Structure 1
Amino acid sequence: MKWPKILGRTSTSTGEEGAEKPEAARNPKMFRNLNPLPLGIELPFAEILPLAAEFGFPSIELPLPYLMEASREQIQEAKRALVDSGLRAACFPLPVEFREDNEIFNAGMAKLDRAASIASEFGCIRCYTWITPYHDELTFPENFERHRDRLSDCARVLDSHGARLGLEYVAPPSLRKGKNFEFIHDLRGLQELIKLIDLPNVGLLLDSFHWYTSGGTLEEILALKPEQIVYVHINDAPEGLDIDEQADLRRCLPGETGVIQITEFLNALETVGYAGPVAVEPFLAEFRQMEPREVLAKVRDALDRVGM
C-alpha cells in the first residue's frame, strides 16, 4: 500500500517553512498519532492533514518514501501544509532494508543520511522498524550478529540528525511455524539485542498485539523506563482463537473484542511515564472499501473507548 503522491494542492501559507513543532502531549502524556496506510487510507498528504486534525489526531506519520523522491519545492510545500494543519510529524519508517543481502543493505544505507535530514526538517525524530521473527538461512547467533551490526549502523546515522530508532518484535507463533531458524519474538529477546547494540538512541516500539501474542505481562511493561520506549501501537485481537492461532495481519480495533487488556496496557505505559505517539494498526480489509471519514470516525471512537 502506498501514498499516491505527496501533495494534492499547493499550500498558500506564508508561515515559516520547516518550523519544527515540539512533541506536545496530554500534559505531557501519550498522544494519538495517525498512520493512514494500515487504515487503508490513501490520500495526498495535504488532504489527509485536515482530516487528521478534524478527527482528533495531533500528529501524523511522515510519508518519507515519497518525500525522498520529491523536488525541493514539493518538500517545502509539504512543510507548509504541515504547519498550516497545526499537526506535527511524529514518526517515519526506517528506509533501509537491513534484512536482505549486503548489496541491498548498502544501497539503503547510502540514502539514510538524506532521509534522516529530510525528516529532521519536519521536526520528526522518531524512526521505527520491526524484527522478522525467523530466518530461512541464518542461525539465531548469525542473525543476531547481523541485526546488531546493521541496526547499529542505522542508529548512528539517525543519531547524527537527533533521531531515535524504535525496534518492534513480532510475536505470533504462527509466523514461526515451519521456519528453519526462529529469531527474536518477545520483549526479553529484543531488550537483549538493544543492550548489545548499546546506543542511547535505540529503544522499543511496543505493540499491544505482539505483547499479547508473546505472552507478555503488565509487570514487564512496568519494569521499563520511559526513555526506553520510542513508539507504541495498540490493536485488539480476534475472539475465539488461541494465541498459537492468532495471525499477524488479522487484528481488531482497540477495545473491539476485549481479548487484549489495552486499557491496562496503556495505564502501565502511563505509569512508567511514556510521553509519545500511539497509533492504531488493525490492517482491516473492510477499511479499504470505506470512505476515509468513516474509517477515521471508527478509529477515533475506538481510541475513546480505551481511554486513549
Structure 2
Amino acid sequence: MIPALNPVTTGRNVPFLEFLDAASAAGFPALDYYIAPFARMAKEKSVDAAIQLLEERKLTLGSFGLPVEFRKDEGIFQEQLRELPAMADLARRMGVTRCCTWLYPATDEPVAEYTSRFIRRLRECAKILNEYGIRFGIEWVGPKTLRTMKHEFIHTIPGALELIGAIDQPSAM
C-alpha cells in the first residue's frame, strides 16, 4: 500500500495545482484525485503534460474518483458515461489502474428501486473500466450518524460484497 493524499481529507476546496504542491511538499508519494483536471490538461496541451504535472512533483496518481454521477438523474449519468472511456483511457496512459466511488448509507427512495438502479449503473461503469484494465473499488460508508434518511442503505461489508456480486464484473471490488 502506498500512502496517498485525498482531497476529502483536506477540506476539498484546495485548488488543483496547490493540492499537488501540498501533497508533494508533505512527502506523499501518491494522491487519490479526480481525473477531470488531468483530462483538461491533456486536452489543452497533451497527455505528456498531464503526466508531467505529477512527475515534476515526484507523485503518482494512486486512484481516481469515478467521474460519473450515478446517484441522480439518468440524463446526467448517460452523458458522463459516454465520457468515461476517454477518461479511463487517459488514466491507463497515466499508469493508473484503480478507480473508486462510495455509497451513501441511506436514501429517501424505495430501497429496491434505488439498489436496482445502482447495480445497473455501476455495472455499466465497471464494464468500461474493465476494458481499460482499471479495477473499480466501491466503498461503503458505515456511520449511524449518516443514516438519517427514510431508509438505510448499504453500510456494512456484507452489504457491499452483495452489491459487488450483483454488479458481476471482474473489475468491481
User: Which is richer in helix?
Assistant: 2
Contact 2:34 2:67 in 1 (8 A): no
How many Å apart are 1:101 and its aligned residue?
Answer: 2.4
| Percent of pairs with identical residues | 36
Contact 2:24 2:58 in 1 (8 A): yes
* Structure 2 unaligned blocks of 5 or more: none
After TM superposition, the score normalised by the length of structure 2 is: 0.87
Q: Which residue does 1:243 correspond to in 2? A: none
Contact 2:70 2:77 in 1 (8 A): yes
Could you tell me which of 56, 59, 67 is aligned with 1:87?
Answer: 59
SS of match in other structure, 2:72: coil
Within the alignment, does 1:183 sit opposite 2:153 as a pair?
yes
Deviations 1:26-84 (A, max 9, x none): xxxx2200124531362443x54454344231112244122333434154322123223
Per the alignment, do residues 185 and 48 of structure 1 end up closer, same or farther by CA in structure 2, a change over 3 Å counting?
Answer: closer
Q: Which residue does 1:69 correspond to in 2? A: 40
Amino acid of the structure 1 residue aligned with 2:152: E
**Corresponding residue pairs, total:** 171
Q: Which residue does 1:160 correspond to in 2? A: 131
* Structure 1 unaligned blocks of 5 or more: 1-29, 204-308
Could you tell me which of 161, 164, 172 is aligned with 1:194?
Answer: 164
Per the alignment, do residues 66 and 49 of structure 1 end up closer, same or farther by CA in structure 2, a change over 3 Å counting?
Answer: closer
Per the alignment, do residues 72 and 121 of structure 1 end up closer, same or farther by CA in structure 2, a change over 3 Å counting?
Answer: farther
Q: Within 5 Å, give how 1:119-268 maps onto structure 2.
A: 119-137=91-109, 139-177=110-148, 179-203=149-173
How many Å apart are 1:88 and its aligned residue?
Answer: 1.3
For residues 156 and 108 of structure 1, the distance between their equivalents in structure 2, rounded to whole angstroms, comes to 14
After TM superposition, the score normalised by the length of structure 1 is: 0.51
Deviations 1:157-195 (A, max 9, x none): 011111111111112222223x22221111111111111
Within the alignment, does 1:38 sit opposite 2:9 as a pair?
yes
Q: Within 5 Å, give how 1:266-277 maps onto structure 2.
A: none
Question: What's the Cα RMSD here?
Answer: 2.1
The farther-off stretch of 61-70 and 141-150 is 61-70
Say which one has the larger Rg.
Answer: 1
Deviations 1:218-265 (A, max 9, x none): xxxxxxxxxxxxxxxxxxxxxxxxxxxxxxxxxxxxxxxxxxxxxxxx
For residues 148 and 56 of structure 1, the distance between their equivalents in structure 2, rounded to whole angstroms, comes to 38
